[in-house]
Structure 1
């Protein structure tokens, strides 16, 4: 009530001053009052609107927000118990992989109540949910927009628990999922779109394991799952404990008769052009932040530094001196896997 009274008074005063400002006798002080009250009214108006709407908390702070925001009253929004995956691929692969502890509910656009309106992907989601006794609730598209934070949900969202990632143990020996294991260590890669794209590529090309640092790493969020086309739900992940550094992990890898490959642009006595490299033993590739790279300490432990040759035009390389980290990941991993297969 107090807020409404303040708002009404502000509107009345603002209107009065606006009318006065149209007069030829208005003073500069009065114009200043008009500007000040108009600005205050904007703040009050925003506050009032925020009281009558409900904003989701589980998706706050994540990049990748849509162009507009959907505001719904709290009574019309389903209660979320975990975090919300959105889109066909993340939902399907999460249901198939079952790496998450909890699957609370699938939310589908109300038009999918009729089977004829469902695409093959949506029908598959309904079947998987039914097989696993996961409830499916029909909601409006506005509710889905809200649950997904206005991101592209394709008519489906799912309330799930956090993804469970095992912790790396240096007491274990290197397991060999393939004849020549290939692991990927992501150093200080924090952008969720890049992170997701790297996971998608790594899963497609058959990387055995992706290692995540305990700090300065991207949060494994629904945005990452969507950016990875659901690969986050399927790929083998392992995280380092807070007491374990990336340097310690690399030294353990070398103790298992493996080599550590860094990536960079500057030439050194350990630099190797990608086209001249052949994988012959267990290999871990470190991908660093586009801006800061690997850092001196981590680069020093690398057995070799792979470089991707750029175009010969000086004018071009002066303008573009590096690749996007997810693009570089695709080039590096494809060549390394191909070199291993060609050797056999």
Structure 2
């Protein structure tokens, strides 16, 4: 079951959104929260299976499952193509582009950021990028169920597509002499963040309209990609007109 998600918050969100095929709960564990999730699943006609403790031990490497899991519907993460999504010209869009981010914890955290700041979606290249895994779903705490996720074949062409729809493409680059705090933001925007080790690829960076950095005065010279994403998204959203 490659699409297994787990943890109270992730499963609760997925069940409420009717994005699961089957619910698994431990027959030896009980809680008010778990009972409510079972009730919602039954209301949504989602099959509920009661498993023993050993099933959870075999299925997961640690106890972060909280004795509840669900198999997710694959199509729930990609109902629309990006082209179809962009056809709605009545909305102002703000996309997050992650260039070859491979750590599932970082992607999960970025989903939570995207949810907190009402982003239009997350775009990643298909190759050399983490997709939506059980760990991503767990860290995202339900955000994968309502933030559109687009895995694209060619990121450069996707950026060109965004530009055709009047997007301005920003990139966070630690080497840029321009500060994010000196920029103004308006219209449709996309923010590109680089991978954990290599940053943004040169071809991707060349496609961007403007690069900026996050000024830092302490002894640490770089930030975790999800931390940097949170800072940049917050600042853009605060000033976006």
TM-score, L = length of structure 2: 0.90
Measured after TM superposition, the shift of residue 159 of structure 1 is 2.9
Match for residue 24 of structure 2 among 100, 107, 119: 107
> Counterparts of 1:198-277 in structure 2 under 5 Å?
198-240=110-152, 242=153, 245-267=154-176, 271-277=177-183
Structure 2 residue aligned with 1:71: none
Higher-helix-fraction structure: 1
Distance 1:282 1:253 in 2: 9
> Counterparts of 1:40-51 in structure 2 under 5 Å?
none
| SS of 2:178 mapped into structure 1 | strand
Matched, 1:337 2:237: yes
Q: How large is the RMSD of aligned CA atoms in angstroms?
A: 2.2
Distance 1:123 1:253 in 2: 44
1:240-282 Cα deviation digits (max 9, x unpaired): 2x3xx21111122122221000111113xxx531112222110
Distance 1:177 1:289 in 2: 32
Distance 2:196 2:59 in 1: 32
Distance 2:119 2:85 in 1: 19
Distance 1:336 1:174 in 2: 23
Distance 2:86 2:7 in 1: 38
Matched, 1:283 2:192: no
| SS of 1:111 mapped into structure 2 | coil
Structure 2: state its 5+ residue gaps: none
Question: Is the contact made by 1:109 and 1:141 (CA closer than 8 Å) also made in structure 2?
Answer: yes
> Counterparts of 1:80-95 in structure 2 under 5 Å?
83-95=3-15
1:131-153 Cα deviation digits (max 9, x unpaired): 02223232232322222333411
1:301-322 Cα deviation digits (max 9, x unpaired): 11111211101x5xx1xxx321
Number of aligned pairs? 240
Match for residue 157 of structure 1 among 55, 60, 69: 69
Question: Is the contact made by 2:77 and 2:144 (CA closer than 8 Å) also made in structure 1?
Answer: no
Distance 1:250 1:232 in 2: 22
Structure 1: state its 5+ residue gaps: 1-57, 59-81
Higher-strand-fraction structure: 2
Larger RCO of the pair (alpha carbons < 8 Å, separation 6+): 2
* Structure whose CA Rg is larger: 1
